[in-house]
Amino acid sequence: MRSTGSVAVLLLIRIALVRSEERYNVSCEDTISTEDCAFMKEYDWCEDDIDFLQRKCDYTCGWCSKNDDECTDRALYLDCSKVTPQRCLKYAQFYSTRCRKSCNWCGGVPRGIWKEWSAWSECSHSCSEGVRMRSRHCLAEGCKGDSADIEKCKIKDCATWGDWSAWGACDSTCGKGSQNRTRICSAEGKCPGNADESKDCNLHPLQAKGVKFCVWSACSRSCGGGTRSKVSYCPLPDPKKCPTTYEDCNTHKCPYKKCIEYRYRSDESACCADIGDGCQNRASRRVIGGTIAKPKQFAWMARLEAVGGRPGTRFRRLFCGGSLIHPLFILTAAHCFDNITPDHIQVLLGAISRDDTSTLTQRKSVAAITKHPHYSDLTSLNDIALLRLASPATTTDFVRPVCLPKGEETKIDTSCFVAGWGFTRAHVPLSSPNLMEAKVRHLPFGVCLKGHKSSPFGPSMNSSSMLCAGTIAGGVDTCRGDSGGPIMCQRCSSCEWYVAGVTSFGAIKCGIANVPAVYTRVIHYEDWINEVVNVHDPLGVVCNQI
């Protein structure tokens, strides 16, 4: 029987076998009795843990001979005959004393046998690339190779910055400003340094060659809507070509004025002739029908319709507008007729609705189309044309010609009007069922030059044959379907209407800020208009707004 003390010792040994941290520190050379050794052998405890048996218990139990000259298998708890050559080599330090005969090492343990590599050390860096190490020991002299091994390692990627973005726009167009750029960290909040940075920009002089930078000019009008401008910087040697910024100013209503006649939609703030307005001698006052009434207001408006289909299924579709300037002639735009012939056109006069079939309206066929001989669809230069009606229009209160400029220049910031049946919203491709009118201003031509500089027509634009009109802030404009229609102004010295321009082109998205529409300047083509009319009427164009 095993004594109680022996059992206690064996339990301690078993605990040591399970606890890997402690079992390698067990020293049983002087504590295990012969009886305990026999008990361990009987239950094969030592065979279960080869690492433990590599210690000194087998010597204490007398299972291995300490006499190296004697070539025998001494591990009584092992069957050395079943140990493979590979295992002999792998655990040479252990088997060299226990299974020397079975491992065929009676002549001595082979030289140059390495012990197994140790576990890898931790990576030298917690992120990005580092190195780790391991080592091994030679069990006998003559080992070939290195006792240490090093390799690269990476636990994870470190937080890194992405590329800088492009520099943003300068926050000031005058004097000293700043512009910013940003970058993004791969792990938010863990990259060293800043996510954004700034630098100075637009450090331009405040004045060069007589041009004051960054200073708004005086508004062109004290009320009713004017224009002002400023030069932010000037990289060009010619100050007259400096990039200029424009904006609306003093758009509030003008004070009430008491006078005999008022300009159209002036809210009784502008008389037909103002003292000191720079006009010439006042001409005779003429207002259509004696009062301003919408059905008669723009009695010269012409609706140009394309006619198609077979008899009984005929259709009419708006494609452009125009102005009656003579009983036989409609003034319009040349680009309206790039793909249409006279026999497919009808002209509706005297109507303020496309569905108006009353006896007050007149529908006319077209006998001929005369485009300006130097019209170019590539540049939109000379975008003007005349339609000769198959029969003269009858002058009534609802159908009446409009005057030509007769040499009158339209002053900058003069309030004028446009009218037409075109789109009322740029993103909705539907023409208006009713004649629409809008109040616009004759703007400095530089506004349109800047707004249309990237359009195909930009390089060919000029102020001698074109004029710019609308509002700088946007929201009021002509649109598709209004081409060929007039921009109409009242004479400087009276309320007589004249057609100052013909709607030519504008922004694709009608009504956007800083891109007003461009009109063919009629005063530049008055001689050509009269030459065409004189062929059929020696008197030419005679205006009778009475």
What is the full DSSP assignment across 139-204?
SSTT--S-SEEEEEE-SSPPP-B-PPPPP---S-SSSSEEEEEE--BSSTT-SSS-SEEEEEE---
**Spatial separation of the C-alpha atoms in residues 327 and 395, rounded to whole Å:** 7
**Spatial separation of the C-alpha atoms in residues 535 and 539, rounded to whole Å:** 10
**CA-to-CA dists, residue 282 to 175, 274, 491, angstroms:** 48, 10, 9
Terminal Cα distance for the chain, rounded: 145
**Spatial separation of the C-alpha atoms in residues 270 and 254, rounded to whole Å:** 8
Tokens of 69: 């000259």
**Spatial separation of the C-alpha atoms in residues 62 and 60, rounded to whole Å:** 5
Q: Which of 338, 346, 255, 341 is nearest to 305 (CA)?
A: 346
Residue labelled with tokens 């060069």: 208
The dihedral formed by the CA atoms of 511, 516, 517 and 520, expressed in degrees to the nearest 10: 160
What is the phi/psi pair of residue 480, to 5°? -60, 135
CB 418 within 8 A of CB 443: no
> For residue 546, which amino acid is it?
I
CB atoms within 10 A of CB 70: 11
Q: Which of 501, 515, 496 is nearest to 453 (CA)?
A: 515
Is residue 335 part of the annotated active site? The answer reads yes
Set 102, 220, 483, 494: catalytic member = 483
Tokens of 230: 């400023």
**Spatial separation of the C-alpha atoms in residues 356 and 353, rounded to whole Å:** 5
Set 36, 58, 248, 383: catalytic member = 383
**Spatial separation of the C-alpha atoms in residues 432 and 425, rounded to whole Å:** 10
- DSSP secondary structure code for residue 353 in this structure: B
Is residue 124 part of the annotated active site? The answer reads no
CB 191 within 8 A of CB 221: no
Is residue 383 part of the annotated active site? The answer reads yes
**Spatial separation of the C-alpha atoms in residues 224 and 493, rounded to whole Å:** 18
The 8 Å CB, 24+ separation contacts for 63-70 are 63/37, 63/98, 64/97, 64/98, 65/97
Set 36, 96, 323, 335: catalytic member = 335
CB 177 within 8 A of CB 170: yes
Tokens of 439: 């109040």
Most distant CA atoms of the chain, gap in Å: 150
Active site residues: 335, 383, 483
